[in-house]
Chain A
Amino acid sequence: NAGVMQNPRHLVRRRGQEARLRCSPVKGHSHVYWYRQLPEEGLKFMVYLQKENIIDESGMPKERFSAEFPKEGPSILRIQQVVRGDSAAYFCASSPTVGMDTQYFGPGTRLTVL
């Protein structure tokens, strides 16, 4: 029974390139969350998605960042025109329902912007 899977695990981009981070939730989970962990900081919520819908994107930077969770396939966090400050670990989590339910976290994608 596979848990949350994220790929790639490590991603290196040059300034100005695009980064695409993928998250496959636990089978049967329809709620996906993205978090960012900056160096020396705690996790910060970015966006919460349910299949084909963005429910809460209050933690997403207003520009360059977008997320989707299509009917088929993984959730994608997309960062356009990356800058050095985007270097961080990005974690995805999934849960089966909304409410006070446990979120299961993926291993994270470590993005390095050169």
Chain B
Amino acid sequence: NAGVTQTPKFQVLKTGQSMTLQCAQDMNHEYMSWYRQDPGMGLRLIHYSVGAGITDQGEVPNGYNVSRSTTEDFPLRLLSAAPSQTSVYFCASSLAGGFTSSGNTIYFGEGSWLTVV
């Protein structure tokens, strides 16, 4: 049971380049999400998914795209990287999102440090 696997761990991009951050979970979780963490700020939601084929925007979606073709995978695409997207990105998953359950622990990936120059 690997939990949430996030790759790459570190990446440097040039402005205008595109890339995909990969996220996979092996716990059959319905809910998956992407956050960015910036200095002095709490984690902010970029996009989320409540199941295969269903995605929605979070607080800071501009410049990012997601898809959820399978339950396991939830990649985050940067369409045209900008210096403002320099951040640490976290993928997370949980069994379900909208209700309180004693088993509804959130699992995070190890983080991806992205620098856009």
Answer yes or no: do A and B interact: no
The chain B residues found within 8 Å of chain A, CB to CB, are none
| A-to-B contact residues, CB < 8 Å | none
